[in-house]
């Protein structure tokens, strides 16, 4: 798989160029129904890729149903500022925008974020990696305020997008560098992102690509008439 195939899976037009992650306005008291019944279009607007990604992520983060049959999302999303829908809508937009800038498939970016943090901006690894794509504070993360500045990070936690624009930009910059270092191979680049080695046998690349396929299937299922073009 060559670097020319970085933008695989989604052909899209993204016209949303806002540079804030403050997020759209939501009623945080509203419960989160199933992905099919959530009208993310009201929050995101007519932006096909962000919309499809939001619906897929919404379905992916459901962990169970309550007694009334309503889906319950994973806790870190439920307790986020503005509610789970605000978090999902804002991160979907940020992921799409960052992917556009980096020339990477947004569903691949989302899959990396799911694999790294479960899409939890406040996740922290045993070695101190932070953000949705888990930047190591000793390497790429040392230049990203969200990673190294605790006070800044605390203020970010009060926003639906949790200042993840800078995290995503840095993470995708590292990913693209890794793909180039590994001879233009996406799978080997993913392996390097995880382990610092161009060896895809560690299973990380395969797990990310599986996650991407899951997200694509969920996006298709949520709205078969969606104008974005999906290719497995």
Classify the C-alpha dihedral 94-62-60-195 as positive or negative: positive
Longest dimension (CA), the chain: 52
Q: What is d(CA 201, CA 28) in angstroms, rounded to the nearest whole number? A: 43
**Residue from 206, 179, 43, 223 nearest 111 by CA:** 206
Phi first, then psi, for residue 11 (nearest 5°) are -105, 120
Question: Minimal CA–CA distance to 119: which of 133, 108, 98?
Answer: 133
Structural domains of the chain, with CATH: 29-218 (1.10.530.10)
The number of beta carbons lying within 10 Å of the beta carbon of residue 33 is 14
Q: Which two tokens stand for residue 101?
A: 């800038």
DSSP code string of 140-199: GGGG-HHHH-HHHHHHHTTSTTTTHHHHHHHHHHHHHHHHHHTTT-HHHHHHHHHHSSS-
d(CA 204, CA 148): 26
Per-residue CA distances from 96 to 139, 195, 228 (Å): 24, 25, 13
Tens of each residue's pLDDT in the chain, 232 residues: 444 344 444 443 333 333 344 443 333 333 334 443 457 877 787 788 999 999 999 999 988 988 888 888 998 988 888 888 889 999 999 999 999 999 999 999 999 999 999 999 999 999 999 999 999 999 889 999 999 999 999 999 988 899 999 999 999 999 999 999 999 999 999 999 999 999 988 899 999 999 999 999 999 887 666 555 454 4
Q: How far is CA 60 from CA 53, 142, 205, in A?
A: 10, 31, 19
Quote the CA–CA distance of 208 and 23 in Å, as a whole number: 27
- Report pLDDT for 72: 86
Q: Which of 52, 45, 42, 60 is nearest to 15 (CA)?
A: 45
Distance from C-alpha of 7 to C-alpha of 4, rounded to nearest angstrom: 7
pTM for the model stands at: 0.81
Give, for 60, the enclosing helix (H) or strand (E): helix 48-60
């Amino acid at each position: 798989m060559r670097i020319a195939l970085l933008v695989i899976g989604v052909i899209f037009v993204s016209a949303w160029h806002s540079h804030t992650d403050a997020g759209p306005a939501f009623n945080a008291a509203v419960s989160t129904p199933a992905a099919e019944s959530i009208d993310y279009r009201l929050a995101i607007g007519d932006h096909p890729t962000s919309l499809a990604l939001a619906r897929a992520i919404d379905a992916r983060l459901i962990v169970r149903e309550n007694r009334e049959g309503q889906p319950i999302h994973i806790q870190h999303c439920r307790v986020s500022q503005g509610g789970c829908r605000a978090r999902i809508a804002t991160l979907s937009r940020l992921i799409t925008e960052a992917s556009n800038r980096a020339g990477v498939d947004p569903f691949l970016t989302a899959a990396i974020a799911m694999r790294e943090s479960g899409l939890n901006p406040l996740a922290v690894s045993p070695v101190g990696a932070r953000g949705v794509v888990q930047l190591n504070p000793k390497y790429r993360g040392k230049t990203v305020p969200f990673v190294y500045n605790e006070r800044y990070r605390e203020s970010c936690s009060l926003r639906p997008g949790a200042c993840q624009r800078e995290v995503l930009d840095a993470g995708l910059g590292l990913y693209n560098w890794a793909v180039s270092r590994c001879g233009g191979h996406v799978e080997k680049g993913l392996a390097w992102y995880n382990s610092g080695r161009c060896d895809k046998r560690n299973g990380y690349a395969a797990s990310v690509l599986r996650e991407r396929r899951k997200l694509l299937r969920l996006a298709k299922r949520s709205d078969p008439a969606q104008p974005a073009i999906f290719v497995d």
